[in-house]
Structure 1
Amino acid sequence: MNHKNILFAILIVLALFIGNTATAQVLMPTTNANKVSLNGTWKFKYIASTDIGADSAFANPKTDVSKWANIKTPGNWELQGFAEPFYGKNLKAGTGLYRTIFKIPATWQDQPIYIAFDGVQYGYELWVDGKFAGSFSSSYNRQTFDISRFVSSGKSATLAVKVSTRVKGWEFDTNDDWSLSGIIRDVTLFSLPKTHVKDLVVKTNVGNHDATLSVSALVETVTGIAPAKNTSVSAKLLDAYGKPVKEFILDSKASAGNTTPFGQSVKIDAPHLWTAESPYLYTLNITLKNGNNELQQYSQKIGIREITWTNGVLKLNGKPIKLRGVDHHDLSPVNGRAVTEKEMLQDLKLIREANINFIRTSHYQPHPRFIELCDSLGFYVIEEVPFGFGDEHLNDTTYLPVLKGRAKATLWRDKNHPSIIIWSVGNENPLTPICIETGKYVKSLDDTRPYCFPEVGSYFGRIAATFPDQIDILAPHYPDASTLRGYADRFNHPMVITEYAHSLGLDFDRMESLWEIMYAHPKLAGGAVWHFFDQGILRKSPEKTAPGKFTTSVWLDSVTVYDNSGNEGADGVVYANRVPQVDYWQVRKVYTPVKALDDTLQVVPGKQQVKIKLINRYDFTNLSERQCTWTLYADTTAIQSGISPMACAPHDTLTLGIDITLAQKLTASYYTLKLQFKDKQNYTFYEKTYLLRNGNTLPDFRQKLAIKPAKPVLNGNNISFGNFGFEVNQQTGMVSLKDASGSALIADGPYARMSRKTTMSEQATTAKSTGDNNPIWQPHVLTKPAAKIESISANKVLVSYNYERQNIKGQFITGTAEYTLSDSGRVDVKYHFIPNNAKGMALEAGISFLIPSSLTELRWVGKGPYPAYPGKNRLDEFGFYHKNSADINYQGNHEQVNLAVLSDAKGKGFVLVANNANVSVENAADGIIVSHNAYVSGRYNKGSNPERSVRIENLKDISGSFSIIPLQSTWPLALRQLFGDPSHVAVPFKPFYNSYDQ
């Protein structure tokens, strides 16, 4: 070894001890008799500096801290009013001084005493009764300290902890989230016998009909000598009901210092294998004895399962698996990093109900209870060794011990959990030599699981050809569809896209197409969308908001906000308080483990069997363990129902036959068949609605809703028909529709629609664009055209329009709108617009009208209940829907609309009749804008344009047709049969005072 290498080795050894002194990583006891929680209210002082000055003696028990503030521990000091919270690396220098008094139980006499900190941001030193007891600096890793020499059984002691935001490697813990500070997880006092189990390693291998269970125990004696020769370790394996399965003795190996390893491998016949679909847990009880004297009992829940990867395919128990995933932080909007078990269970319940089977713990080791719950509830986990966001240090070899220390602490705590199937090493870091060395170190610590380096997509692309072959899993971020297809067979390693769709705001493009590519290719094991919840913290704002005002956060009232730090944290599929967004329901539908492959069903009257093709996307579950219920509807009335048995192996397809009877005379407007798929807990995890078609015809609502014949009469520029009047403005060409009292049903229009409301994701993507290269037209509706009435009569009005793009001269939308008035009381609209030297992206291109805000009720027949766009429409099904304009999900585009009713609370308004059209609604300052869209682009993803988009310069025309039928408060029978009484008002789902992308 040359001098340079010797120096490097010395630096590594020294650095392993820097900031981690007096530590004693041992297993915490599993019996409460040997543990005392120190959680509670502590004394606290915050100093906005790393220099504590006159408080340097705070650790001395004689220092009076009675006038210090109280702080809830665990908790973050920023969320308890001691400092301002900051996001990411904006974390400010600061120090928190903690003091508390604890008592050692008298029964712990002559036993070693330890204290464990499960998580402290960012680094800390501790003193017991004024004596320095150790230090540590990795925010999310557990560290244990031997404090035996400082305390006595039956007596009290003073614990003092100095927490600093500036320690070596603090940047690694700033993550993509709020950088909060303090003691964030449990603090536990515990004792062990002098000879005890220091470490336990459980490994399982799965055969065809049996499994091998390997158990290794490291026994330590704190007296400095090896455990006595008559020390023994035995194991008992119990099934999920507590019944003994196997008992065996562990063989001892050669002692090393004061430790002796023990180990044994045994066969388990016909084992229950652990999977996320069947999370069967055994209990492994370890008994440590000295002769006949029992020293210690230790208990561990374990799962029998094996992770392998062959020919680039990731397998569990020898079978390929697909990871339907989401990224997840440890964060509560109220409790910060001090997440409670109740909050964890809430998250996991929502995650399960969204058909997610895989969680990536971004970007650190989560709370230990979270992993235990993943074991028992059934989730695959990628657990992350925490060192993202410190790229500037990753070419500095003195940081290698820091990285390896974090890796060791992560694997030490969680290596025996069956839910963890992959180790993630850092996040989006450059692949420097010390990163590669850390990955190798992870592999040396655990050869039963693969590991990966999650990489920024562009960086991954540049280095893909030079990835070291020993990296088990490849993990690029945010590939587009064509790039992902290219990756599918390029590598001989499994690929997990640990971040593949960014749910910034409500846009969330790409998920559906990318997931289908992953599902179709064996080497693409799956991926995780970013992120499960908004990283919002609940706080008061000095600035007020108002409903409808553009915001990047979510407001409970004008000053109470779930603060997302601008758009940095607004990227969840649920809001910060876990209210599901539209994105959540999209995830649920895309990730469904049962997928129907048909969209429409052709039928004829009479008895018949409709056949529906299903695919079972479970990896281990036969569909015989699930239930399919179905209901046949005539409009909104259920006329037949049943349960259809299913038997289909994983990854296979099934043709489901359902016997229905349709009357010879079909009197309803629509006949639909609704399928619901339920799990063993009776939760409906997937539903599919089929429109049953007798031929290819749709109901003709132009005839069904015809009113008593009323011949149109022209009077100047006003055409009266029945109780309504249609008027065109001679100067502006704008039209209006009014009732007999003069109240407007349509107040203004037509507008040329060339975009849609600005979203956060659009802003983030186009922030650096200029007028010349910005593809987005804003304002998104052109409201003041040059117009000319080409012709006008009692039956027809033809107007030509020339709309100039606002703020950018020389770009026009020109064309005509034709209004035909019939004797049956409707206005047929045809429009034909042509881009003239116009450029950019047509997010939505069509025609718009302004209606009064009093028309609060929107009812429609078509896809629903949520707004839908290309690439984001899997969540919707055909049906009959009703929303109020105050509903958080009211605004947006609706697909395959045949009929839309816009009315006030009494039913007065109008019907828009179309043929499988895109119809959008949005609240505006002076009313509601209703649009018929000829073209609709997909939504944005953070940093990327819509995957499915329409360029204005490629459009030959923007045209469409629909009919408008004015309504009085007494509705035609056909309308009441679809939607009921017109005076019924929808109760708006309005969980917030104001929110983003609304």
Structure 2
Amino acid sequence: MLRSQQNAKRTVINLSSLWFLEVGKEKRPIAVPGSWNEQYQDLCYEEGPFTYKTTFYVPKELSQKHVRLYFAAVNTDCEVYLNEEKVGENHIGYLPFEIDVTGKVRAGKNELKVIVKNELKVGGFPSKVPDSGTHTVGFFGSFPPANFDFFPYGGIIRPVLVEFTDHSRILDIWVDTSKSEPEKRLGKVQVKVEVSEEAVGEEMKIELGGKEKRIKVTDRIVEEEFTFEDARFWSLEDPYLYTLKIELEKDEYTLDVGIRTINWDERKLYLNGKPIFLKGFGKHEEFPVLGQGTFYPMMVKDFNLLKWINANSFRTSHYPYSEEWLDLADRLGILVIDEAPHVGITKYHYNPQTQKIAEENVKKMIDRDKNHPSVIMWSVANEPESNHPDAEGFFKALYETAKKMDRTRPVVMVSMMDMPDERTRDVALNYFDIVCVNRYYGWYIYQGRIDEGLKALEEDLEELYRRHRKPIFVTEFGADAIAGLHYDPPQMFSEEYQAELVEKTIKLLMKKDYIVGMHVWAFADFKTPQNVRRPILNYKGVFTRDRQPKLVAHVLKKLWGEI
């Protein structure tokens, strides 16, 4: 599925605006995109359902075209009505969905209605804390009862678009540069295009990097390969993008393409044949007032800070971010670990129905983001109950689903298990290409004892590598620090303690040649459900929620500038 695109042959109406929200019998204005939780105090903890309504106008000539509604993301369950007719539904957040409304759009005024519910579910998504007896990661008793450590925002969180195309149209594009040979500067770009039935028999023009091919479309799938003998490879230092343009008589689509290769062995991760070390953050896509609504100034600010602090990567914890995050990563040379919206998974998720949903989510994520050169690996989940016997089959299936979609990138699962304690033995981690673990020595364990905690961390990592013989990526470590709170000697929650723990952990990790990356948790402070450990926010951010640096930010800037 291609995202909507405005160009010479496609027309897009962006419905980002003030809509109406029906709460009971009351009608209120609501901003789209945005979360209802932050726009109204009395809706802060509400799950819905709430009804969104807006109108849009269509010229007569456009109403005769192929028309689709493109929702970049809605949290979470929704039903969509056009002119009082139900036209579709969706049941997962953070990922796009489309609805074909050809022949249903009127010339003139149209009314769009979306009924949205963001209900937490035991054994579903978003995950609810079970009553007892399973993996709750310390969230038992939280309100709202989310089985994860960020606020469960609801609503139409990303843009809603109406796209008009000819009936003879381009449906999807796949780009694969994995057969390129960077040591020879030889770029090989395989392009696959899917078209509608109406396009069969037409001529297609494919342009890439100054080269052009014209093909008679004899089937709905068209495949071509381009070779560049002096290719400019996409890299962190030079994130060069070639322009790919696919053109039919009455449709066209343009895509940025980065030529690069990704490989890995039992100790290293390679970008274009050279070892790459990932330094950066797990983060969240959230901000005051907006909740999880798409916010372009925040994206620009965050990338500016990533560059300032000498980071080269981030993980979309714990869900796929807005597509524009990846656009910027492509342009600016930042690597991305793209994570499915699977957080808070417990033994109650290990059933055929939920497994099918999770497999579809992985497919949707890869389908959406497959052509971004910045995406260096796929993560299928964060911190599941992966020491449960039933986790093995569940995550083996997710790994295989991802590999069927894309064999050119490593597939990972981020685990908090597989520590020296046998009770934490992860039954699924060995299926994945790189061992990704979250470790909080000196914070949740060995509290206040950084040096003792790091000694235990080193023993943990050594045992992990002996067991798996695969590269290890420490995807989370860190400590809470309340901005402006200082203490000598360093104590927990002070800026000094956070800075010391992070600095000493990095210096330890750099001694291990099987470590391929380190991500500090977290990029910025973020809102959580209410519980006794969280005074409104999780304060593990290197930056405050409004993006001001704590002491640790300056420490990281210096350390990462030397790596």
Q: Report the AA paired with residue 379 of structure 1.
A: I
Contact map agreement 2:176 2:190 (CA 8 A) in 1: yes
1:277 aligns to what SS in structure 2? coil
Match of 1:474 in 2: 435
Aligned 8 A contact 1:122 1:167 in 2: no
Within 1, Cα distance between the matches of 2:273 and 2:118? Answer: 46
Tell me, yes or no, if structure 1 residue 76 matches structure 2 residue 35: yes
Structure 1 residues 577, 469: closer, same or farther in 2, change over 3 A?
closer
Q: Which residue of 1 aligns with 2:488?
A: none
Residue 261 of structure 1 deviates from its aligned partner by: 0.8
| Residue 234 (structure 1) shift | 2.6
Question: Which residue of structure 1 aligns with residue 196 of structure 2?
Answer: 220
Change (3 A) 1:126 1:528: same
Amino acid at match of 1:77: W
User: 1:151: Cα distance to partner?
Assistant: 1.2
Q: Within 5 A, what are the aligned runs for 1:450-489?
A: 450-458=410-418, 462=422, 467=428, 470-478=431-439, 480-488=457-465
Residues 1:264 and 1:283: Cα distance change in structure 2 (over 3 Å): same
- Aligned residue number for residue 336 of structure 2: 381
Does the CA-based 8 Å contact 1:515-1:526 persist in structure 2? no
**Alignment CA distance shift 1:30-1:157 (3 Å):** closer
- The alignment partner of 1:171 has SS state of coil
Classify the secondary structure of the residue corresponding to 1:272. coil
Tell me how far apart the structure 2 counterparts of residues 566 and 458 of structure 1 sit (CA, whole Å).
30
Q: Does the C-alpha gap of structure 1 residues 459 and 123 become closer, same or farther in structure 2, counting only changes over 3 Å? A: farther
Between the aligned partners of 1:461 and 1:232, the Cα distance in structure 2 is 63
Q: Deviations over 1:385-422 (max 9, x none)?
A: 11111324322211112101211211111110011000
Shift of 1:338: 1.2
Partner of 2:327 in structure 1?
Answer: 372
Of 469, 472, 477, the residue aligned with 1:492 is 469
Matched with 2:48 is: 94
| Secondary structure of residue in 2 paired with 1:516 | helix
Aligned position for 1:108: 62
Q: Does residue 1:202 correspond to 2:175, yes or no?
A: yes
Q: Determine the C-alpha separation between the residues in 1 that align with 2:557 and 2:71.
A: 37
- Among 11, 14, 17, which residue is 1:40 paired with? 17
Q: How does 1:659-678 map to 2 (within 5 A)?
A: none
Q: 1:132 to 1:499 in 2, by over 3 A?
A: same
For residues 317-366 of structure 1, the C-alpha deviation after alignment (integer angstroms, 9 at most, x for no partner) is: 11111000201111112321113111111111112111111101100000
1:850-929 equivalent positions in 2, closer than 5 A: none
Measured at CA, do residues 461 and 36 of structure 1 come closer, stay the same or move farther in structure 2, by a change above 3 Å?
Answer: farther
- Summarize deviations over 1:696-749 as a string: whole Å, max 9, x none: xxxxxxxxxxxxxxxxxxxxxxxxxxxxxxxxxxxxxxxxxxxxxxxxxxxxxx
Give the Cα–Cα distance (whole angstroms) in 1 for the partners of residues 522 and 221 of structure 2.
Answer: 42
Q: Closer, same or farther in 2 for the Cα pair 1:172/1:286, shift >3 Å?
A: farther
2:166 is aligned with 1:193: yes
Q: What is the identity, as a one-letter code, of the residue corresponding to 1:512?
A: E
| Counterpart residue number, 1:129 | 83
- Any idea what SS the aligned residue of 1:295 has? coil
Match of 2:204 in 1: 233
- Residue 487 of structure 1 and its aligned partner are, at CA, apart by 3.6
Distance 1:370 1:26, change over 3 A: closer
Task: Look up the match of 1:278.
Answer: 238
Give matches, 1:526-925, under 5 Å: 526-536=517-527, 565-566=534-535, 569-592=538-561, 594=562, 617=563
Answer yes or no: is 1:158 the counterpart of 2:111.
yes
Partner residue in 2 for 1:525: 516
Secondary structure of residue in 2 paired with 1:195: coil
Deviation at 1:115, TM superposition (A): 0.8
Instruction: Report how far residue 131 of structure 1 moved.
Output: 0.3
CA drift of 1:180 comes to 1.5
1:255-280 deviation line (CA, Å, top 9, x unaligned):
4xxxx111112211111111122211
Q: Please give the secondary structure, in 1, of the residue aligned with 2:305.
A: helix
The whole-number CA distance in structure 1 between the counterparts of 2:223 and 2:376 is: 23
Structure 2 counterpart SS, 1:190 = strand
For residue 110 of structure 1, report the CA deviation from its aligned partner.
2.5
Count of residues in correspondence between the two structures: 501
Residue of structure 1 aligned with 2:316, choices 344, 354, 361: 361
Given that 2:418 and 2:464 are in contact with CA atoms closer than 8 Å, whether structure 1 keeps it comes out as: no
Give the counterpart letter for 2:213 in structure 1: F
Distance 1:313 1:111, change over 3 A: same
Secondary structure in 1 matching 2:207: strand
SS at match of 1:280: coil
Quick check: 1:321 aligned with 2:282? Answer: no
Deviation at 1:522, TM superposition (A): 3.3
Tell me, in whole angstroms, the C-alpha distance in 2 between the residues paired with 1:358 and 1:250: 39
Secondary structure of the 1:286 match is strand
CA contact (8 A) 1:332 1:339 kept: no
- Does structure 2 conserve the Cα–Cα contact (< 8 Å) formed by 1:27 and 1:197? no
Amino acid at match of 1:523: Y
Q: What is the aligned partner in structure 2 of residue 264 from structure 1?
A: 224
Counterpart Cα distance in 1 of 2:460 and 2:380 = 23
Gaps of 5+ in 1: 1-24, 48-54, 56-66, 87-91, 239-243, 289-293, 538-551, 553-563, 595-616, 618-998
The residue type equivalent to 1:332 in the other structure is F
Distance 2:503 2:462 in 1: 14
Q: Call closer, same or farther: CA 1:268–1:308 in 2, change over 3 Å.
A: same
CA 1:128–1:357 in structure 2 vs 1: closer, same or farther (change >3 Å)? same
CA gap of 1:474–1:251, structure 2 versus 1, over 3 A, is farther
Matches within 5 A, 1:395-406: 395-406=350-361
Match of 1:248 in 2: 213
Structure 2 vs 1, CA of residues 579 and 130 (structure 1 numbering), >3 Å: closer, same or farther?
same
| Separation in structure 1 between the aligned mates of residue 236 and residue 243 of structure 2, nearest angstrom | 18
Give the distance between the partners of 2:544 and 2:215, measured in 1 at CA.
50
1:518 to partner: Cα distance = 3.3
Which residue number in structure 2 is paired with residue 688 of structure 1? none
Distance 1:497 1:159, change over 3 A: same
> Secondary structure of the residue that 1:185 maps to in structure 2?
coil
Q: Could you say what secondary structure the match of 1:270 adopts? A: coil
Q: How far apart, CA to CA, are the structure 1 residues paired with 2:11 and 2:267? A: 46
Q: Pick closer, same or farther for the CA change 1:468–1:391 going to 2, 3 Å.
A: closer
Which amino acid in the other structure matches residue 125 of structure 2? W
CA distance, structure 2, for counterparts of residue 385 and residue 251 of structure 1:
38
> Quick check: 2:345–2:383 contact (8 Å CA) kept in 1?
no
CA 1:502–1:485 in structure 2 vs 1: closer, same or farther (change >3 Å)? farther
Match of 1:213, as an amino acid? Answer: V
Distance in 2, Cα, partners of 1:530 & 1:251: 51
**TM-score, normalisation: structure 2:** 0.83
SS of equivalent residue, structure 2 residue 339: strand
The residue aligned with 1:179 is 152
TM-score normalised by L of structure 1: 0.48
What is the DSSP-based 3-state SS (H/G/I as helix, E as strand, rest coil) of the residue aligned with 1:498? strand
Shift of 1:570: 1.7
- Report if aligned partners of 1:312, 1:491 keep a CA contact under 8 Å in 2: no
Distance in 2, matches of 1:390 and 1:470, equals 18
Contact 1:519–1:526 (CA under 8 A) maintained in structure 2 = no
Further displaced range: 575-584 or 428-437: 428-437
- Which structure: larger Rg? 1
Does the Cα contact within 8 Å between 1:122 and 1:181 map onto a contact in 2?
Answer: yes
**Higher helix content, 1 or 2:** 2
Please state how far the C-alpha of 1:567 moved relative to its aligned partner.
Answer: 6.3
In the TM superposition, what is the alpha-carbon distance from 1:69 to its structure 2 partner? 1.2
